[in-house]
Amino acid sequence: MPPLTGRVILVTGAARGQGEQEARLFVAEGARVVLTDVLDERGKAVAEELGADSALYVHLDVGEEGDWAAAVAAAKERFGKLDGLVNNAGILRLNELAGTPREEFLDVVRVNQLGTFLGMREAAPELAAAGGGTIVNTASYVALAGMAGLTAYAATKGAVVAMTRVAALELAGRGIRVNAMCPGAIDTPMSNPALLDPAADPVRVAEGMAGFYRKLVPMGRAGRPEEVARLALFLTADDSSYVTGQQFVVDGGWLAGAPMPA
């Protein structure tokens, strides 16, 4: 029997990238998935492809309390309950500390940090009502190691790791496990915005990214979204039944140190 049979999981930022791959994998492993995003056209297309019996798309701006309430209500209305949450939605802004405008910093906080907080707060009572469940928060490699130009992003992802630990302590007695993923360089439009530029040469973009990470990452490449999705599956399924309050790095060895120069 697939490991997520009978489970209902809500995934944020599920229209593309890591969230899309998590939704696809979860459905393949037996779950019914509520895909949420602000990219409505793309999100609806993914949900339709997965099928109405297994997937539902709901618009969700993770910084809006009302959107969270509506998304959870939609999950219960369609599938009867909520067993899990994957807080995947996030944004990244590149800027040096001294040059980061207040508004830009707060935009990143609103999505990455506030969005994760609101999701956990809204989902926890429903997970408890379902007899327990799981929350998987998406942090980052830069929550654990510095990277120039990412003050706002690193600050919010560090907060995600801290909130994960506190939530795990508070929710364990209600049968809810809470863990965090810390991806390194993953080949998605967020980490490589040039992929979204219709004028960009996709081959040149791919070659440039590959060369950059070949020098930095011991495994010699960026990760793939489906590799992060498999970690999310492990943390959502019963294979990780005695795991909570932890951070899991998925970075090709980047955090371990610099590879030998070529």
Q: Please identify which of the residues 57, 141, 153, 213 carries the catalytic annotation.
A: 153
Structure token pair of residue 230: 């498999």
The answer to whether residues 178 and 133 touch, using CB atoms and an 8 Å cutoff, is: no
Separation CA 244–CA 103 (nearest Å)? 34
141 in active site: no
Buried b (16+ CB within 10 A) or exposed e, 210-242: eeebeeebeeeebbebebbbebbbbbbbeebee
The answer to whether residues 250 and 221 touch, using CB atoms and an 8 Å cutoff, is: no
Burial environment of residue 97 by CB neighbours within 10 A (0 to 12, 13 to 18, 19 or more): exposed
Residues that are catalytic: 153
